[in-house]
Structure 1
Amino acid sequence: MSKGRDKALISARDRKLFERYYYWTEVKRLRFDDALQKLSSEEFFISEGRIMQIIRKMIREGEKVDGAELPAVGFNGFRVSPKAKCDARQLSLFP
């Protein structure tokens, strides 16, 4: 039996976090920073930086919510144009 956190549980948490982020930003039209704060302090109790890492990872992997892709999010919360070329190496420059 491996030590550490269960990867299936982490994956399920990340998926749920991504769905909740979609809900707050796309359905309820909450501002990006307000959605991050709500997810961090009221729903998942992890840092805003970690939430951003999870969201970026899910977007890079092409995850969808109800068949809709979430627009890419830059380091400062602004949406990134689909034509903008940004890879994992560039994203790693911003903690």
Structure 2
Amino acid sequence: MSRGRNKHLIEQRNAALIRRYYYWTELQRLRFDDALKILSEQEFFLSEERIMAIIRQACRECRELKVQPVPKVRRPRITAAQLALFAGE
């Protein structure tokens, strides 16, 4: 018999953690740091760093979600001449 933690139970825990993270961030619309605090202190009793590591690993492994980084939004550059148009108001 192998020693150590049961890999199947760890996989089930990680899957449940991902589902709960989705619930708190997407359905309840909590900020991710607030969701991490709840998961860490009330539900799974793991450190926030460990929870983030589990979430990052799940994102790397799950190809069907097609998680893409959010593109950078460029701010338009406003010239002094453009600002002068609003000075008359």
> How does the TM-score come out when normalised to structure 2?
0.73
Provide the identity percentage. 54
Deviations 1:10-67 (A, max 9, x none): 0000000000000000010000100000000000000000000000000101177xxx
Q: Which runs of 5 or more structure 1 residues have no equivalent in the other structure?
A: 73-79, 85-95
The structure where strand makes up a greater share of residues is: 1
Q: Bigger radius of gyration, 1 or 2?
A: 2
The structure where helix makes up a greater share of residues is: 2
Aligned CA distance change for structure 1 residues 34 and 59 (closer, same or farther; 3 Å): same
Q: Which runs of 5 or more structure 2 residues have no equivalent in the other structure?
A: 73-89
Correspondence 1:61 to 2:68 = no
> How does the TM-score come out when normalised to structure 1?
0.68
Alignment coverage as a number of residue pairs: 72
Greater than 4 Å deviation, 4+ residue runs: none
